[in-house]
Structure 1
Amino acid sequence: MATENTLSSFVNRWECDENDHLNVQFYFSRFEEADRQFQLLSGMSEAIVGARRVRHVRYHNELRCGDLVSVRSHAALDGPHIFTVVHEMRNASTGTLAATAIDGYAPTAAAAKQIRPRFKNVIKDMPADAAPRGLSATPAPHKTTLASILNAGAQVCFRGTVLPRDIGPEGRADDRFALGAFTDAVPHVWQQTPMNHAYLSQNNFGRVAVEMKLTWISPLKTGDMFLIASAPTSVQSKTFTLRHHLFESRTQRLAAVCDVVALVMDLEARKAVPLPERAAAEISKITMG
């Protein structure tokens, strides 16, 4: 039993964000490519295990400009899904674990019986570092409507159009596209909290995600216009969670949901700091019910 080497890459300056580290959309794009390579190497396909139900990412250590990146992937039968694929991303120079992703599948009962013999060469135990921590492993609800979440307190914070460059080889908008849109939307959510742009700038703090769960509900294609409606969902002493909903605008069809665990980072010390004292009360006021 062994992991497969599924990606060797490099952090480019243009992939880094205002926090001077690799933007989350490019973690997802690398996991997407690693997954394609794993499927080729292992013989895995949607025809065997079904469509991916969820991708759950945890960020363990920063990747910064110039860092070398590697990903190793394997299947796990003791993970939180009937069939779980695990991707471990490391700084290839230091060996430090940078991020993990688990992809959840729910093959049919007949297909599940063949999983172990079919993938025996790539099956390995589920690593504890990749297990969900601040978010449940369960995919997001599929039947949410735009009207219901707006009534619950969410606000529209981004609008856009799917462009040809956003389409992956599978013929639909890919993970990088979705995460790029969520990344542009999220500052507008933070702006409604005590951790607004002025507060972050004055203290040399940054907005950081430490865990994300992406659930695709339906595909988007070139030319589709979309909107994102978002809101916080809970708050703790150092972190808060929020949820982004991506809808196709014309029919208000739900396309994707992204759950996030976020925190404030001191950009000089590169460490998390507690939320401002007022944060819990103010975030609770705008939490989606």
Structure 2
Amino acid sequence: MTTDTTLYSFVNEWECDENDHLNVQFYFGRFEEADRQFQLLSGLSEAIVGARRVRHVRYHNELRAGDLLTVSSYAALDGPHMFTVVHEMRNATTGTLAATAIDGYTPPAAAAKEIRPRFKNVLSDMSEDAAPRGLPASPANAKLTIGNVLASGAEICFRGTVLPRHLGPDGRADDGFVLGAFTDAVPHVWQRTPMNHAFLTENGYGRVAVEMKLTWSSPLKTGDMFVIASAPVSVAGKTFTLRHHMFESRTQRLVAILDVVALVMDLTTRKAVALPEVAIGEIAKISMG
């Protein structure tokens, strides 16, 4: 296998959030660009392997302002999907693994036999570091409606509009844009729990995601307005899971679902802290049924 570096980049100060590290929307944006480069270098296209069904990201170590980063990409046949593309993001100065992304595809039956010989030069065994841990690998349910999501306990926490500057090369809103919307929505979900803004500020804590899975259902284009409905799903130990649902506002069609494993981080020690007992109980009460 020839491993290609598909991205050379740098963490700008304006890309860092209130936790003083690279915001998740910019991780997804970097992976999106690395994937475009990988597709060009490898000859990968939707015509061969179908549309990407899911992008599953794990955050391993923080990236902070001024850090150099690179992404290397390869394909794997031993991953959790019929065809998996793996992206590994590293701190280019230290070599430390910062984040991983796996993209899941289900090639049409007619193309399946050609996958190995066609991509033999970019195939490798999938790294265990990239394997899903807190979330299942399979795409989220694409048949949900806003009505049954709200009836299950989710609440609307964001509304937005797609502008021309939000579009990718294919004329559709890309991962970085929808992650930015989900990122702005999530504090409103935390606010429903005892781990609200006042609690986090008083204790010097921050909201942190350690794993995310993005499932696209339909595209967003210029002028489309959308709404996000979100809620916790479960809680265990130091982490809890959230689910964000994005719907196009006019037709109420499902656009995307983002599953998130979250925790509380001490901003001084940069370590995870235990969820307060009262928070565990309240999260369980408001979790989606």
With normalisation by structure 1, the TM-score equals 0.99
Cα-to-partner distance string for 1:146-197 (whole Å, 9 max, x where unaligned): 0001000000000010111110001100000100000000000000111100
The SS at the match of 2:193 is coil
Query: Counterparts of 2:61 and 2:16 in 1: how far apart (Å)?
Result: 14
- Corresponding residue number in structure 1 for 2:268: 268
Q: In structure 2, how many angstroms separate the alpha carbons of the residues matched to 1:66 and 1:75? A: 30
Identity of aligned residues (%): 79
**Is residue 201 of structure 1 aligned with residue 201 of structure 2?**
yes
Distance in 2, matches of 1:2 and 1:79, equals: 18
1:40 to partner: Cα distance: 0.3
| Residues 1:58 and 2:58 are matched in the alignment | yes
User: Partner letter of residue 232 of structure 2?
Assistant: P
Give the deviation of 1:4 after TM superposition: 1.3
Distance 1:250 1:110 in 2: 37
List, as ranges, runs of 4+ consecutive aligned residues in structure 1 with deviation greater than 4 Å: none
SS in 1 for 2:277: coil
Q: Which amino acid aligns with 1:257?
A: I
Give the corresponding residue for 2:238.
238
Instruction: Indicate the residue corresponding to 1:181 in structure 2.
Output: 181
Residue 266 of structure 1 aligns to which amino acid in structure 2?
A: D
Q: Is the 8 A contact 1:2 1:124 kept in 2?
A: no
1:93 CA displacement = 0.3
Question: Which residue pairs with 1:22 in the alignment?
Answer: 22
Distance 2:17 2:193 in 1: 21
**Runs of at least 5 residues in structure 2 that lack an aligned partner in the other structure:** none
Once the two structures are TM-superposed, the CA of residue 2 in structure 1 deviates from its matched residue by 2.7
Q: In structure 2, what is the equivalent of residue 164 of structure 1?
A: 164
Q: Which amino acid aligns with 1:130?
A: A
* Aligned position for 1:152: 152
Separation (CA, whole Å) in 2 of partners of 1:18 and 1:181: 16
Q: Any stretches of 5+ residues in structure 1 without a counterpart?
A: none
How far apart in 2 are the matches of 1:118 and 1:147? 44
Query: Which residue type is aligned with residue 127 of structure 1?
Result: S
1:1-289 equivalent positions in 2, closer than 5 A: 1-289=1-289
Task: Give the root-mean-square deviation of aligned CA atoms.
Answer: 0.5
Q: The residue matched to 2:148 in structure 1 has which SS?
A: helix
Contact 1:225–1:250 under 8 Å retained in 2: yes
Give secondary structure in 1 for the equivalent of 2:254.
strand
CA separation in 2, counterparts of 1:67 and 1:270? 17
What is the letter of the counterpart of residue 225 of structure 1? Answer: M
- The DSSP-based 3-state class of the residue aligned with 2:107 is coil
- Amino acid corresponding to residue 189 of structure 1 in structure 2: V
Return the letter of the residue paired with 1:101. A
